Structure 1
């Protein structure tokens, strides 16, 4: 019995310290997640004069002429992407890069005029995305969040253990919020909501970690990237699909971000380099590419415009860029800018198993599967905020007021350190190296540093 109680206290202590680090990040992730979920809807609703045209007639001007209007309005800037309207009432949208910042520029194809612009890089969505992914601290923030999310896996494991019904309590009773008072009420609310959300929370952790620099970028994504070099005849030595993204917005499917970009026909490129004038070299137009994309099945999509003489036109429809809702319909096709030849055609069915799982997972994570996905994600974010608040309230109620102490659960006296830690470090370390490294750091801090500083030991005991 004493051993069981000691193990319970050990689990509780790990749960406390994991929460101590993770709660600020979880609050931030939930709040910014809600902002990212609803800000695109709010932007479209509050800027209907840009997103939609007033009058529709039967003769819209060509996409190339629309691009010329944008070039005339932004002569010094880079025209990067065309978003093909999905409805005749929608304005055509171009992405323009101005001094490194990205803007959406809207064109009325019937009135033949530029309607205006909206910032992308400085939008509230971009701010929330940067905060959500890096805490606005760059790579350092990215790794701090990766540790917090890894610790959240530990929180779920230890939390379910602490919640598990004991002393004759049924699962039905354990899953119900009972009418306790004081700290028991807050503990019951915290644990029941936590258990109900545990599976979804693990899912959000795993899909979110797909973007993290170590577990996502260096491990999982690197191993799961589509091998463009085996599919396309010519590929870039320096550019990847990630270069198609603009500052403040991810538009390329996860499984393609690290994949190299194809290049247009090398012989024609050499002819361009030797030619005194480019007028003699045939080029595909935007309208040619839009027509070709629709001929092979695209409906709502965007076209990335070549930025160099070796570049390609890329037609892309993905849930990542919100072109489509269903990630299993992802498709990216690259066209030679001179001949219109299809250089590569990559769909969901071509992704690796991990890339398929992440494509679906990320689109669910971002709420791309319709109104039910919005509702679930909203309730989930509100639930996470509630868990964080109730955890702080519980600590505040039980914190010691007579001494300067953190109020951590009492350290067990009859279990060795490795027995306390191995159950939690092992499953996390097998998958999440940064989380495991942080946990080992906690053990070193707990066993070595605190024993050399008596005042610090008193604070943490």
Structure 2
């Protein structure tokens, strides 16, 4: 069955329809991915006068004093968090909500003055991140992208099947052959590139789907969420860790986003609040080096220290850690580290760093080459179709003469698609359009097939 011409045509037809939908999304994901990888580097270079300071022989201001400098400069704007660095030449960064904008405010800790600010909400990175995740269409865009990524997994499976050499042929030769002219060259280049990046593309698909609203939010993320309420006496009924994220960005560890935030105890401490320097000192004593301090939300809010690959604070996922402190007593309410994650969350912590090119120059180069390969795969697939199609015809790959083969492929792919619910939706739409509608209209059939 698997080696028949009709079966191959069926696989090819599914590959074509999946690619037809996926191509624009893959190009968008690759381009915005490149933008997000390089934007932090470019921003630090362009704004080096804000990010870096000259170290002075005098002691830096305390964090409370620096906080007050920012509060004086932005009197009507709530300060949301502090970024703590382990370098004496880094400016201190605070995150401030200015109207509907969230801004990074830079402070020279030696001179005690605000150096300037940069918009987070309206930055190129935030635009690329929003486009990458939702196509700037909210939940609808999230669903469309989830279908596209799910279909990409089908593309990988069907593509590898179509490339697979027949008995007696060399797999190495098939994986390196770029000879030929015209459509033959494009076909060889497309299949060779696809085979070499298939495993990496599958990894990016899985790690990307973990953020999606259906497969990620309803299934694996919900299953992987750390149960903070087991270690904290009181948790919020309305706020989750996701509320700590800046608007439009994801910086909180993936497996904590859906977990409720712990609450401080009012008890005998009244309205007293521990100092910011106490929080930073306690966090450093617990092993934090580069980290963020999130300020309490309301009277029962907590101070939260986070160091994660998701927040770009650290590069080694083994050091991922989130600690909540009672705002009144300073007591540790919850302490969640890498070893507390389940196996999928651990994979995500490492995967995010790889996905974002955080492991040094080699990782940046690898991610860049991968994104370029994905763009080439998409473009070469379109070129192949364009060179193959007759004039004035859409020219999908021919329907197999034995329709049972078409059904066999459906049944082979269905169990896989059921792992990703949005793929099932996409497959159902393909079946309706291709089988129930177009195959029943002779004129359309001539143009379509």
TM-score range, shorter chain: over 0.9
Cα distance between partner residues in 2 of 1:177 and 1:383: 16
Cα distance between partner residues in 2 of 1:379 and 1:351: 31
Give 1:339-358 correspondences, 5 Å limit.
339-358=329-348
* 1:306-326 deviation digits (Å, cap 9, x = unpaired): 131110000111010000001
Q: Give the secondary-structure state (helix, strand or coil) at the position aligned to 2:103.
A: strand
Counterpart in 2 of 1:287?
A: 277
Cα distance between partner residues in 1 of 2:416 and 2:32: 29
Q: Give the secondary-structure state (helix, strand or coil) at the position aligned to 2:214.
A: helix
Match status 1:428 vs 2:414: no
Contact 1:208 1:362 in 2 (8 A): no
Q: Give the secondary-structure state (helix, strand or coil) at the position aligned to 2:322.
A: strand
* 1:215-264 deviation digits (Å, cap 9, x = unpaired): 00111101110001111111111100000001122110000000010000
Counterpart in 2 of 1:442?
A: 430
Match status 1:298 vs 2:288: yes
Cα distance between partner residues in 1 of 2:177 and 2:110: 59
Match status 1:373 vs 2:370: no
* 1:430-461 deviation digits (Å, cap 9, x = unpaired): x1001112102211222212244443333322
Match status 1:264 vs 2:264: yes
Cα distance between partner residues in 2 of 1:212 and 1:157: 21
- Pick which of 450-459 and 11-20 moved more: 450-459
Contact 2:37 2:364 in 1 (8 A): yes
Give 1:306-325 correspondences, 5 Å limit.
306-325=296-315
Contact 1:221 1:254 in 2 (8 A): yes
What TM-score comes out, normalization by structure 1 length? 0.94
Match status 1:76 vs 2:76: yes
Q: Give the secondary-structure state (helix, strand or coil) at the position aligned to 2:306.
A: strand
Contact 1:3 1:414 in 2 (8 A): no
Match status 1:418 vs 2:407: yes
Counterpart in 1 of 2:101?
A: 101
Q: Give the secondary-structure state (helix, strand or coil) at the position aligned to 2:371.
A: helix
Query: Offset of 1:53 from its aligned partner?
Result: 0.9
- Pick which of 208-217 and 363-372 moved more: 363-372
Counterpart in 1 of 2:241?
A: 241
Change (3 A) 1:7 1:119: same
Counterpart in 2 of 1:47?
A: 47
Query: Offset of 1:182 from its aligned partner?
Result: 1.0
Query: Offset of 1:156 from its aligned partner?
Result: 0.4
Counterpart in 1 of 2:393?
A: 405
Match status 1:327 vs 2:302: no
Counterpart in 1 of 2:204?
A: 204
Q: Give the secondary-structure state (helix, strand or coil) at the position aligned to 1:213.
A: coil
* 1:125-156 deviation digits (Å, cap 9, x = unpaired): 00100110011111111100000000000000
Contact 2:85 2:289 in 1 (8 A): no
Cα distance between partner residues in 2 of 1:226 and 1:363: 20
**What is the root-mean-square deviation of aligned Cα atoms in Å?**
1.5
Q: Give the secondary-structure state (helix, strand or coil) at the position aligned to 1:50.
A: helix
Counterpart in 2 of 1:456?
A: 444
Cα distance between partner residues in 2 of 1:380 and 1:367: 11
Counterpart in 2 of 1:388?
A: 378
Contact 2:264 2:328 in 1 (8 A): yes
Q: Give the secondary-structure state (helix, strand or coil) at the position aligned to 1:247.
A: coil
Query: Offset of 1:10 from its aligned partner?
Result: 0.7
Contact 1:407 1:460 in 2 (8 A): yes
